Amino acid sequence: FLSPNEADRELVTAFRGLSEIVPSERGSGVVTEWEQETTTLIISGNARTIRLWNIQQEQKICDISTGAESCVTSLASDPMGRSLLIAGCGDGSVRLFDRRMNPTECRVMTLKEHNSWVLKVHLQRGSEGKIVSASCDGDIRFWDPRFTDSVRVYNTPTSLSSVDIHPRADIIACGSINQCMTAYSSHGTVLSSVKYHEGFLGQRIGNASCMSFHPYLMQLATGSADCFVSIYTTPRNVPLP
């Protein structure tokens, strides 16, 4: 849209990013990942394919078969241009794809240590960046892309409803089903915890259904089941982990 004002809003363009939706009792809907450097939009969800779009040219690049019988729940791409694409799935698997290969044969690895729905996959920055994945049962694992076994794992005390990982700081934010949000380091150390909204009589926060870190600042936005959208930050002059 051209204008944020509803009265002056004018549609510029629209398209159907993914048409092959597979009906299911529990689905992930539409899952997206945006690559700013290449202006590529990656779309999947309740489908057996991952579709890549070149937004600048408004053209489909390719379709990649996931090879999974379950939906795609999370997507991550390589910010350093190594052509690696990662998909977390509802069956607990984490699937790696090399986009330099033929789209029908580009799945290079399947990681199968999670036992439940994968909430988040993330690729850390740097030449030796680890893959991070987190599942609903609180299982957080770190992977070296060269191997099929995880190199580090820790478990949160409760099941999770949402997870996000800061792209530049050593912080993993987790929203649990017991109405609590906790920030961990990559080694499982608890950095902070939030259970109530601000104020003397602040009510208990709802289950965090979604959360997202600012790409550069130490700020976390969350949306919860009690219809609140909250933004959290650290006090000034606090160094990043």
Domain borders along the chain are 18-155, 161-241
The set of long-range contacts for 14-23, using a CB threshold of 8 Å and a minimum separation of 24, is 15/58, 17/41, 17/43, 17/51, 17/53, 18/43, 18/44, 18/45, 18/47, 18/49, 18/51, 20/47, 20/48, 20/49, 21/45, 21/46, 21/47, 22/46, 22/47, 22/48, 22/71
Length of the chain: 241
pLDDT at 12 over 70: yes
Q: What is the pTM of this model?
A: 0.87
| Contact partners, residue 126, CB within 8 Å, separation at least 6 | 80
Of 73-87, 152-166, 168-182, 191-205, least confident by mean pLDDT is 191-205
- pLDDT at 236 > cutoff 70: no
The chain-wide mean pLDDT, for the chain, equals 88
What is the mean predicted confidence (pLDDT) over 13-31? 80
Task: Quick: pLDDT tens for 135-156.
Answer: 999 999 999 988 999 999 999 9
Q: What is the CATH number of domain 161-241?
A: 2.40.10
At 240 the pLDDT is 57
pLDDT for 239 equals 59
Q: Is the pLDDT of residue 22 over 80?
A: no
Phi-psi region of 91 (alpha: psi -120 to 50; beta: other; left: phi over 0): alpha
Q: Report which of residues 163 and 201 the model is more confident about.
A: 163
* Helix%, strand%, coil% for the chain, nearest 5: 0, 45, 55
Task: Look at 16-20, 22-26, 98-102 and tell me which has the smallest mean pLDDT.
Answer: 22-26
Tell me the average pLDDT across 120-130. Answer: 82
> Which residue(s) pair with 230 in the sheet?
222
* CATH fold for domain 18-155: Methylamine Dehydrogenase; Chain H (2.130.10)
% residues pLDDT > 70 (the chain): 92
Average pLDDT over residues 38-60: 91
**Ramachandran bin of 39, using left for φ above 0, alpha for ψ from -120 to 50, beta for the remaining angles:** left
* Cα atoms found within 13 Å of the Cα of residue 149, Cβ hemisphere only: 1
Taking 60 as the threshold, does the pLDDT of residue 200 lie above it?
Answer: no
Mean pLDDT of 31-51: 92
- Fold matches, 18-155 and 161-241: no
